[in-house]
């Protein structure tokens, strides 16, 4: 039995995608052995598994994911962190200090406080508890420079591009360092704020046009044109 949609067709919640020998993939659900979409997105079939790449979704924590978050509050034994998901994440003091934490001696807000940006990994998460973060690995920790931009999490693969082609191109054209949080938060660190703005504009464009083709070429073109404009102003 064939599926009821064309490859990469835009589908809405409740649309019937397939029935029979297919398996439900991401953003779909089954009822009476029929598979329906549960979010708006592009439908596709991969080895009998029907998936919908959501065009609008929020980040749902998964153990092992690298995320970028904003510290919200200093608590008794750690910090609450906003990772742009329905759940606030927790970062324990003992994790950051890499030793048992003594409330009398350690002033937590000196280490991290509300407004700080961190790159962390989701250490644990289950249905009955908020996600716990860790910064105990190389490359994780407090961010001291750069700007962040938020995209829909499911578009991160688009920002990376085929075999990293898109992201490498942006890094090259803007000279920026780019860290991609799987929660859709992207950190851009450049030599000048203008470089950072350029990289962010490119990423925003990818978010808006993610479901079109020829995107890598168009972004490359966009960056070259914008750089010329900036170059022209500096003359």
Partner 1 sequence: MNKKPEKLINKKGLRLDGRKPDELRPVKIEVGVLANADGSAYIEHGKNKILAAAFGPKEMHPKHLSLPDRMVLRCRYHMAPFSVGERKSPAPSRREIELSKVIRECLEPSVFVEYYPRTGVDVFIEVLQADGGTRCASITAASLALADAGIPMRDLVVACAAGKIDDTVVLDLFDTEDKVGCADVPVAFMPNLNAVTLLQMDGILTPEEFAKAVNMAIDGCRKIYDLQKEALKTKYMLIGQEEEVEE
Nearest approach, Cβ of 49 to partner 1 (angstroms)?
A: 15
Q: Which CB atom, from 33 or from 58, has the smaller least distance to partner 1?
A: 58
Residue 19 CB coordination number (10 Å): 15
Q: Which CB atom, from 32 or from 110, has the smaller least distance to partner 1?
A: 32
Question: Interface with partner 1 by CB under 8 A: which residues?
Answer: 6-8, 10, 12-16, 27, 29, 31, 36, 38-40, 42, 53-58, 86-88, 127-128, 152, 157-158, 161-162, 208-216
CB within 8 A of 195, min separation 6: which ones?
174, 175, 176
Q: Which CB atom, from 54 or from 182, has the smaller least distance to partner 1?
A: 54
Name the residue among 22, 75, 25 with its Cα closest to residue 52: 25
CB within 8 A of 224, min separation 6: which ones?
173
Nearest approach, Cβ of 99 to partner 1 (angstroms)?
A: 30
Q: Which CB atom, from 69 or from 190, has the smaller least distance to partner 1?
A: 69
Nearest approach, Cβ of 38 to partner 1 (angstroms)?
A: 4
Q: Give the residues across from 91 on adjacent strands.
A: 79, 133
Q: Is the dihedral of CA 18, 40, 125, 120 positive or negative?
A: positive
Q: Is the dihedral of CA 74, 183, 27, 39 positive or negative?
A: positive
Nearest approach, Cβ of 212 to partner 1 (angstroms)?
A: 5
């Amino acid at each position: 039995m064939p599926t009821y949609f064309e490859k990469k067709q835009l589908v809405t919640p409740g649309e019937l995608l397939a029935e029979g020998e297919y398996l439900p993939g991401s953003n779909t659900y089954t009822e009476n052995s029929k598979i329906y979409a549960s979010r708006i997105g592009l439908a596709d079939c991969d080895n009998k598994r029907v998936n919908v790449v959501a065009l609008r979704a929020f980040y749902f924590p998964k153990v092992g994911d690298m995320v970028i978050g904003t510290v919200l509050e200093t608590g008794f034994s750690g910090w609450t962190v906003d990772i742009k998901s329905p759940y606030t994440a927790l970062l324990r003091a003992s994790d950051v200090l890499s030793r048992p934490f003594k409330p009398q001696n350690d002033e937590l807000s000196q280490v991290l406080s509300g407004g700080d940006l961190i790159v962390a990994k989701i250490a644990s998460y289950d249905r009955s508890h908020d996600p716990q973060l860790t910064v105990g690995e190389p490359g994780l920790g407090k961010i001291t420079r750069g700007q962040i931009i938020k995209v829909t999490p499911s578009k991160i693969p688009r920002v990376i591009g085929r075999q990293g082609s898109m992201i490498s191109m942006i890094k090259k054209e803007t000279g920026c360092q780019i860290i991609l949080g799987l929660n859709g938060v992207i950190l851009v660190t450049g030599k000048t704020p203008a470089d950072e703005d350029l990289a962010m504009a490119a990423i925003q464009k990818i978010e808006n046009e993610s479901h079109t083709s020829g995107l890598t070429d168009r972004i490359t073109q966009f960056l070259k044109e914008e750089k010329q404009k900036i170059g022209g102003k500096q003359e």
